Amino acid sequence: MIGKCLCGDVQFEIEGEIPNLLQCHCSLCRKQSGSSANASTFVHESKFTWTSGQNNVSHYKKDTGFSSSFCAKCGSPVPNQLGSTDKYWVPAGLLENEEDLEIVVHIYTQSKASWEEIPSSGKHFEEMPDIELLNKALQRTSR
């Protein structure tokens, strides 16, 4: 599957099946996305390849460790390595041909916006669960 930013300068490819999606409802993701939640997934670094525009990626990192990568031209959030793990955080809105993906996890539900209604479907975590537990929850099962 391929993904690209709004202007198309930053592009990447993910090999194999894409894990399902999570929505983060924390205040930082609201600010980063300009919306009530940030939909994304995680992929192993061996499955992720930048195909163009990696030199157009700018980064911002808070003292807390929260980081945001974005296209320097159009401002779209773009993938970044998830801390010191072997996984990339991938914004779902950049993916093309994502018809069969679904949101299966909601994290930081305790800090959701007062005006947001979180769907009851999927697993809910008040804060950030263990990364391996989260990764397991995102993996697809036979439907």
Phi, psi of 54 (to 5 degrees): -60, -30
CATH number of the domain enclosing 61: 2.170.150.70
**Partners of 88 in the beta sheet?**
43, 81
Question: Please, which residues have CB within 8 angstroms of residue 128's CB and are 6 or more apart in sequence?
Answer: 107, 108, 134
In-domain check, residue 16: yes
Confidence band, pLDDT 50/70/90 cuts, at residue 6: very high
In-domain check, residue 143: no
In-domain check, residue 69: yes
Q: Which helix or strand (DSSP H or E) is residue 87 part of?
A: strand 87-91
Structural domain boundaries, residue 51:
2-138
Question: Per residue in 119-137, pLDDT tens?
Answer: 999 999 999 999 889 989 9
In-domain check, residue 120: yes
Collapse the DSSP code of 116 into the 3-class scheme (helix H, G, I; strand E, B; otherwise coil) and give the result: coil
Confidence band, pLDDT 50/70/90 cuts, at residue 9: very high
> How many domains in the chain?
1
